[in-house]
Amino acid sequence: MAVSSSFVVTSKLETLLSNHHNPSSSSPVSLGLIGIRSLPMINRTRRCLIQRTRCEISSSKAASISALEQLKTSALDRYTKERSSIIVIGLSIHTAPVEMREKLAIPEAEWPRAIAELCGLNHIEEAAVLSTCNRMEIYVLALSQHRGVKEVTGWMSKTSGIPVSDICQHRFLLYNKDVTQHLFEVSAGLDSLVLGEGQILAQVKQVVTVGQKVNGFGRNISGLFKHAITVGKRVRTETNIAAGAVSVSSAAVELALMKLPESFSHVSSARMLVIGAGKMGKLVIKHLVSKGCTKMVVVNRSEEKVAAIREELPPGVEIIYKPLDQMQACAAEADVVFTSTASETPLFLKEHVEALPTVGDARLFVDISVPRNVGSCVAELDGALVYNVDDLKEVVAANKEDRMRKAMEAQTIITEESKLFEAWRDSLETVPTIKKFRGLAERIRATEFDKFLSKAGNGMDNKTKKAVEDLSRGIVNKLLHGPMQHLRCDGNDSRTLSETLENMQALNRMYGLEAEILEEKIRAKVQQK
């Protein structure tokens, strides 16, 4: 750009001056000047033109160089001066219908693959997946907020088959401190349908357990989730927020009991069927027992899990195991059917339920699976009542005042813990600069020491060499001590974070460390690819 601008201006100058020297030229400028002005005047005009054109060239060069520099540093501004952002792109029971969430759901076994694919995106450094029946949330550390969100949303669309426009309509986006606040609330059970439910804390723990085996579950994201576990434990201990119904499974049981016809005098008189003996099914069974149910049928792929659950229950509770191929026959004899399997296709469709004999007023289906085990078409039948995880909102309508009080207590804890986490994350900001500055100083020291050895020749004994090298290291360490002290962000001095970051940015500018940090990030992404 600078060359072309200078060339254009210089060419104009040369053309104009050649017209001055050529009286026969038909240029109006040359005719006017030659005809009216004397030769000294022509020379003065020539000098003025040259001077003015030089200014124009200088100005043009400056503008061009400025534009060039902006172009060179655009990536640097984007990836180093703009701090890498923690982002959550999520869909929850509060923002998206179950039909969309079930398509986006990622089984736990697929979390490592998802993390690896996410970190393979151009602007994503770290990632984690939190996928439950009520939410599907992707947490990432992104080099660029806008590009990171765009890439992750595109990945979600590709893996689920849902158009990007539909995902954007129902997703929520949070950045940095808002992400911290959100995950801490999730872990504490404040974002759950049932306030304080304990299952979500176990699911957050599982994210860490799975993520620790995956490279993309990096320091920032793992630190966030580990701190969220601490917050969840502390909230439950200090506020008693988990008193009462504390899981989706318990809410499902509460809902079923609320919807039972009045003809059932007691829960024990209703015939209960539980399909699935996994974590959710096990909790449903235990909550049914706690409500007075002493007999139920459990359908599962194998009997081992059912036998293990049976051993945990009090005496007098009868658990009847049936294999999966007898599911329809069991449903025909049940008043209430709970489904909680990992099946990706519905277990009950309209034609299945139509074939079942009528029981009382209606047969209840309480489906707490995502994807759903009971097709929405079943609800069209007169003899069936179908409820899924979205319907559990009814259960949490009671004791609002008490819930709000406990939530406010929990928020106080979350605010305190959020500050601690943000301080920890801020302390990581200067780590790359410290490493790069130390590395630069060491390279300079080593280079100068090698020069000294080459000049000294072979006559120097090892003891003297070591003494000189120790001397060089000592000088470097003493010179580094001051800058290193002003880059540390451990709260042991009176400096504010902004002062520390200003020191970091000044050091980056003086020694060109930002470029090295960027190159390292890009190199890491290339190696990852």
Residues labelled as active-site residues: 133
The b-or-e profile of 289-327 (16+ CB within 10 A means b, else e) is: beeebeebbbbbeeeebbeebbeeeeeebebebbeeeeb
Q: How far apart are CA 109 and CA 377, in angstroms?
A: 30
Q: 270 — alpha (psi -120 to 50), left (phi > 0) or beta?
A: beta
Q: Are 100 and 166 in contact (CB under 8 A)?
A: yes
Q: Which residue has the tokens 């992707």?
A: 138
Q: What is the distance between the alpha carbons of residues 494 and 267, in angstroms, rounded to a whole number? A: 64
Residue (of 203, 222, 194, 226) closest to 279 by Cα position: 203
Please name which of 181, 86, 89, 194 lies closest in space to residue 133, comparing C-alpha atoms.
194
Closest CA to 226 of 239, 212, 238: 212
The H or E element that residue 368 is part of is: none
Phi, psi (degrees; rounded to nearest 5) at 126: -140, 160
* Exposure string for 354-373, b = 16+ CB within 10 A, e = fewer: eebeebeebbbbbbbbbbbb
Prior bond of 323 cis (ω within 30°): no
3-state secondary structure of 85: strand
User: E strand or H helix at 218, and its extent?
Assistant: none
Paired tokens of 265: 């005098």
CA dist., res. 373 & res. 384, Å (int): 15
Instruction: For the chain, report the end-to-end CA distance as a whole number of angstroms.
Output: 34
